[in-house]
Amino acid sequence: MLDFLTIYIATIIFIFGTVIGSFLNVLIYRLPIGLEFVKTNSMCTNCKHRLNWYDLFPLFSWIFLGGKCRYCKSKISARYPIVEALNGAFYVLIYLFLSGGNAIEGLNLTLVGYMIVFSCLIVTAWIDFEHQIIPDSMWISIFVGGLFIVADVVIKGEFTKEFIISKIIGLFAVSGFFFLIGMLSKGAWMGGGDVKFMAAAGFVLGWKAVIVSMFFGAFAGVIFAIGRKIVSKKEMRGIIPFGPFLAIGVCLCAFVGEAIFNWYLNMFI
């Protein structure tokens, strides 16, 4: 019965995640160009036709419409179902592995906090990849997600001095290093958005996991740059945004970052 309840709740969480993922698509499109995203109705980005409720079912609307607008028949980016499915999958993984994942025991503030964090990571990665900016609203929201996680630890009576020290050091462990690089390069090698983003991520992950996430992000960025050069068979030109790869590192290290850090240290002890 317990296993069935866990699966049932995980299914509901996935559906909820895809609905939130639909909203994330709105943010990804509107935040960089300064469009209102609360009061303005959803519309086709090509013909600007207002979309009805039956055009907005996460995943299914895109599939049933064949990836095309119902009204102007223009192509709808595959980004929409990808973001919806990805957000739903992340929510389930958070429930199962980060918040307890044991029936209703996994429904807590840690779950809410990480949901906020991972949704913001998706938006940050996509916007930075397409526009080379990290909106302030994203790193602020990630920090708020971290506050939910801390609040849950306090409520459960698991709060320790080491826990909060790790969070505080995490604020500066990577962001301070990035800030120094930005100062020395006068912003050429590292932007302010990356600094603030990693400060918020460090508060969520703690100093150990955020350091590991930086290395994973750098590795992912190098692999992408090399792959792009091989595929295009041209010299690497233009700016390669660091945000998407940092977001990948943060996502991974939310689950295994501290374990990897401790494993690495134990190799030398």
CA distance 88 to 93: 9
What's the one-letter identity of residue 26? V
Bridge partners (DSSP) listed for residue 68:
75
Dihedral sign for Cα 70, 72, 78, 84, please: negative
The predicted-structure confidence for 44-73, as pLDDT tens digits, reads as follows: 888 888 888 778 889 988 988 889 998 898
| Under-50 pLDDT residues of the chain | 1
Q: Which residues contact 143 (CB under 8 A, 6 or more apart)?
A: 199, 200, 203, 204
Q: Residue 247: what pLDDT?
A: 97
Q: Residue 234: what pLDDT?
A: 55
What's the one-letter identity of residue 246? L
Domain boundaries along the sequence of the chain: 1-107, 134-269
Q: Residue 146: what pLDDT?
A: 98
Look up the pTM and report it. Answer: 0.93
Q: Residue 214: what pLDDT?
A: 97
Q: Residue 160: what pLDDT?
A: 95
CA distance 216 to 109: 27
Q: Give how far Cα 7 sits from Cα of 2, 84, 111, 239, Å.
A: 9, 20, 16, 43
